[in-house]
Homo-oligomer: A and B are copies of this chain.
Amino acid sequence: MLFSENFEKLIQTLNRFPGIGRKTAQRLAWFMVSQDKNFALNLAETIITTVESFKTCSKCNMLSESDPCPYCTSVERLDSHLCVVENSSDIQILEGMNEYKGRYFVLGHLLSPLDGYGPEQINSQQLMERILTLHPTEIILALKPSAEGEATIHYLWELLKDKEINITRLSTGIPFGGDLEYSNLNTLSNAWKRRYIVQ
């Protein structure tokens, strides 16, 4: 038996989430129909309320329920540090460290000209304006070390290098708990080149 049109549509929609394959999507869909109906109806309502309440912060591009977002308005955050991230969700991950008290800026995408993401699509003009307003002493490019991440870091560094601002990036290497055996060659040779003296 094939799935009904509705059920198949539900599976296909769930399948569009990152990291959710067809099999997981089927499992989630079955879970929804097999629970008390209120579970799924509440979920649907919560989805609607939540997405309707989110907007993009006009200062930093973060998805937030207020504009400007809490990070841009808080008087407790320092203008001296500006952390540049790819996505809004990266901010939550960094906040988990409970270490950083500066401002944020969300690019929305990494540079990838072949896919149509040039300097304009990553909001670099808006970033420059934000820098002019905040006058940070350090800009942390907290982007992932992939081909696109490296290209973006290089591009932003070129834009900013003459501005007498410290431009930093996150350390790269073998992750804690990671195994040499399971590290890919790029990670390994990068960690080798960046080896440092134990003290």
CB distance from A63 to the nearest CB of B (A): 5
- Give min CB distance, A132 to chain B, whole Å: 25
A192 interface residue, CB < 8 Å from B?
no
- Distance in Å from the Cβ of A61 to the closest Cβ of chain B? 11
The tally of residues in A whose CB lies under 8 Å from a CB in B reads 50
A135: shortest Cβ distance to chain B, in Å? 24
- Write 26 A-B pairs (CB below 8 A) sorted by A numbering: A3-B92, A4-B65, A6-B49, A6-B65, A7-B50, A7-B65, A9-B46, A10-B50, A16-B39, A19-B24, A26-B92, A29-B50, A30-B88, A32-B47, A32-B51, A33-B54, A37-B51, A40-B48, A40-B50, A40-B51, A41-B48, A41-B51, A43-B44, A43-B47, A44-B45, A47-B47
